């Protein structure tokens, strides 16, 4: 009974983090963009530093009417937001933030998390197809093609650090991590982070939701809380990507003075800031530029890094 209770408590903690951390990332994005682009709106709600902006957004989404297009497949249309969001919660269960601080320690954790993250695109595809809108369908097709291009460098980069550690488990990888890996695995880390941003449709890789061309891609017909679920899925993906990068390439809870879960959160927080920084710094890439970056740059770099890791691992 104690094991069941412990598992239930771990799931509750993970679920609470799943509901909280994406909202904090959203609040961070509001404030960072407000400072970098001199936006007054996000700095106004609630008075001091616009602290109530997140609350105002929530109230706005809750008050909006839930509209389903007349020609839409209503069942698929309504299921799509949940299917886009749930995989990130499932993946978050397997991410450790400290020694023993994990929902479920899985031996093949990398395979599990990467596989589950790839399921989220099905929700986007369902949304685009069920909306009975050509712009929505075009955005969904763009998202699928983008995922196909960037999933390969994403997995190859993760395979590099797994080969270096000699394990597919996150805890084993963090235990095997050494500071000099920051240089040795740097190309893999950059490839992993960039490919992850592309899979999440984050600027400058947001062609599937290019508002100047296809309104808002697969989410065009969504309003109210269903639309908010897609936004929550995006921020949950950012949280997951930042923690993954921190655990795989930055040593997780290892720090210069004492090992602690605080270091994991600090590294993930810095990476989340970088995600927002990239959004406000670079223009949207064209579809051909997206594919060229994946196939002609990221994949060759990932393969070269994988070769280097194999050579160093055998020689060491």
- In the chain, where are the structural domains located? 67-315
Q: Which of 246, 140, 158 is nearest to 201 (CA)?
A: 140
Question: Looking at per-residue confidence, does 10 or 195 come out higher?
Answer: 195
Q: What is the dihedral of CA 105, 180, 244, 203, to 10 degrees?
A: 180
CB contact at 8 A, 144 and 125? yes
Strand stretches in the chain, DSSP E: none
Residue 110: band (very low, low, confident or very high) from pLDDT cuts 50, 70, 90: very high
What is the spatial distance between Cα 177 and Cα 287, in angstroms, rounded to a whole number? 37
What is the spatial distance between Cα 215 and Cα 212, in angstroms, rounded to a whole number? 6
pLDDT at 114: 92
- Span 155-174, mean pLDDT? 93
- Span 205-211, mean pLDDT? 81
- Residue 42 pLDDT greater than 80, yes or no: no
Question: Looking at per-residue confidence, does 64 or 186 come out higher?
Answer: 186
- Name residues whose C-beta falls within 8 Å of residue 286's C-beta, 6 or more positions apart in sequence: 207
- Span 55-75, mean pLDDT? 84
* Angstrom distances, CA of residue 27 to CA of 42, 57, 89, 153, 301: 9, 10, 20, 30, 34
Q: Which of 204, 192, 205 is nearest to 302 (CA)?
A: 192
Question: Looking at per-residue confidence, does 7 or 93 come out higher?
Answer: 93
Q: Is the peptide bond before 207 cis (omega within 30 degrees of 0)?
A: no
The partner residues of 101 in beta bridges, in order of sequence, read: 98
pLDDT at 258: 87
Other CB atoms within 10 A of residue 75 CB: 10
- Tell me the whole-structure pTM to 2 decimals: 0.92
pLDDT at 192: 96
Other CB atoms within 10 A of residue 32 CB: 18
CB contact at 8 A, 178 and 116? no
* Angstrom distances, CA of residue 90 to CA of 93, 157, 158, 236, 272: 5, 22, 19, 11, 20
Query: Count of alpha carbons within 13 Å of 75, Cβ hemisphere only?
Result: 0
Q: Which of 292, 145, 123, 120 is nearest to 207 (CA)?
A: 145
- Residue 99 pLDDT greater than 70, yes or no: yes
CB contact at 8 A, 203 and 278? yes
Q: Which of 183, 221, 211, 227 is nearest to 63 (CA)?
A: 227
What is the spatial distance between Cα 268 and Cα 241, in angstroms, rounded to a whole number? 9
- Residue 1 pLDDT greater than 70, yes or no: no
What is the spatial distance between Cα 164 and Cα 54, in angstroms, rounded to a whole number? 41
The partner residues of 98 in beta bridges, in order of sequence, read: 101
- How is residue 187 written in tokens? 């190309």
Residue 53: band (very low, low, confident or very high) from pLDDT cuts 50, 70, 90: confident
What is the spatial distance between Cα 36 and Cα 23, in angstroms, rounded to a whole number? 20
Residue 101: phi and psi, rounded to 5, are -95, 80
pLDDT at 8: 85
- How is residue 146 written in tokens? 């983008």
pLDDT at 242: 96
- Residue 272 pLDDT greater than 90, yes or no: yes
- Residue 44 pLDDT greater than 80, yes or no: no
What is the spatial distance between Cα 79 and Cα 197, in angstroms, rounded to a whole number? 24
pLDDT at 193: 96
Question: Mean of the per-residue pLDDT values for the chain?
Answer: 88
- Residue 223 pLDDT greater than 90, yes or no: no
| Pure H helices in 166-223 | 170-176, 181-184, 186-199, 211-214
């Amino acid at each position: 009974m104690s094991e069941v209770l412990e598992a239930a408590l771990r799931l509750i903690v993970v679920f609470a983090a799943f509901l909280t951390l994406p909202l904090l990332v959203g609040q961070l994005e509001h404030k960072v963009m407000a400072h970098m682009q001199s936006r007054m709106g996000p700095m106004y709600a609630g008075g001091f530093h616009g602290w109530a902006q997140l609350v105002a957004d929530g109230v706005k989404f809750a008050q909006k009417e839930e509209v389903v297009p007349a020609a839409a497949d209503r069942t698929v249309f309504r299921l799509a937001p949940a299917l886009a969001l749930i995989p990130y919660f499932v993946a978050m269960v397997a991410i450790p933030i400290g020694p023993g601080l994990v929902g479920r320690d899985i031996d093949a954790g990398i395979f599990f998390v990467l596989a589950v993250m790839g399921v989220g695109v099905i929700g986007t595809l369902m949304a685009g197809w069920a909306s009975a809108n050509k712009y929505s369908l075009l955005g969904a097709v763009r998202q699928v093609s983008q995922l196909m291009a960037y999933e390969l460098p994403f997995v190859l980069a993760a395979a590099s650090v797994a080969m270096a550690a000699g394990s597919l488990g996150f805890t084993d990888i963090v235990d095997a991590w050494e500071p000099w890996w920051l240089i040795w695995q740097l190309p893999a880390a950059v490839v992993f982070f960039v490919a992850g941003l592309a899979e999440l449709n984050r600027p400058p890789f947001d062609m599937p939701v290019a508002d100047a061309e296809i309104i808002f891609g697969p989410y065009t017909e969504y309003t109210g809380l269903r639309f908010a679920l897609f936004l929550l899925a995006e921020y949950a993906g950012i949280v997951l990507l930042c923690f993954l990068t921190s655990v795989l390439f930055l040593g997780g809870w290892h720090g210069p003075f004492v090992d602690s879960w605080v270091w994991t959160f600090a590294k993930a927080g810095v990476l989340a800031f970088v995600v927002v920084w990239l959004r406000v710094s670079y223009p949207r890439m064209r579809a051909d530029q997206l594919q060229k970056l994946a196939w002609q740059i990221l994949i060759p770099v990932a393969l070269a890094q994988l070769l280097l890791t194999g050579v160093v691992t055998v020689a060491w």
